[in-house]
Structures are given as structure tokens and as C-alpha cells.
Amino acid sequence: VQLQASGGGLGQAGGSLRLSCAHSGSTFNSDAMGWFRQAPGKEREFVAASSWTGGSAYYADSAKGRFTISRDDAKNTVYLQMNHLKPEDTAVYYCAAQHYGCSDYGCYDEDEYDDWGQGTLVTVSS
């Protein structure tokens, strides 16, 4: 599986960006998909995840109410809509796939993910 993240760039505080992650494999319809981020000098952290059906979504506290994860099974693509951006959202954002779905805690745990994209940089100016 290859994952290609895109959509990063420079955003302004209070603005919006939408990230996309294209999944090249045949397992997309049974993969849970997650977004993680790593800010300079910090550990990578969980942002959001979608169950393989798209029926459940999981968010970090920092993302709740501002970010929305969604998936388009016809396009094998998962999105992260980021609204009300803050400077502290500045990070490299990574998408990841977890085969055969994820189960609650496993959706948040980066060690449970099987495949990773290369990351896309988001910079939010104040």
C-alpha cells in the first residue's frame, strides 16, 4: 500500500486547509485511516481517524470541533478538513492505514497502523 498525502501549505490563523491522502492499494475499503502530525521538536501525535466504514470518527482533543475526517471510497481517498486553524497546528501531517479496521484504543495508537504516507507540511501563521 502506498499513501500519498497532499494539501499542506501555508494557512492563516482562523483559516482552513484540506488535506488529502490517496491510498493506492486494494485494501482501502477495509482499512481504518488515520491522520497524525509531528510539530518541530515534538513527538508525533494522533489527530483523527476514520473507521473502515466511515461510520465512526475519532479525534484528538485538539482537533475536536475544528477538524473533520472523511473518506471517499470511490476515490480511495481520505480527507482532513481543518478549520479555525491555530499556529499550534503547524506540523508535518501524516496519513496512515490500519488493515482490517481499528478498535477504539487502536484507532489512536500509531503503533497499530501498518502503512504510512510521506507527510505534508502545514504551516499556520498568526
Instruction: Note the pLDDT of residue 25.
Output: 86
Each residue of 33-46: pLDDT tens digit? 999 999 999 999 99
In degrees, rounded to 5, the angle at the alpha carbon of residue 115 between the alpha carbons of residues 33 and 34 is: 20
Does residue 103 carry a pLDDT above 90?
Answer: no
Distance CA 111, CA 11 (A): 30
Does residue 1 carry a pLDDT above 90?
Answer: no
Contact assessment for residue 36 and residue 44, using Cβ atoms and an 8 Å cutoff: yes
Does residue 113 carry a pLDDT above 90?
Answer: yes
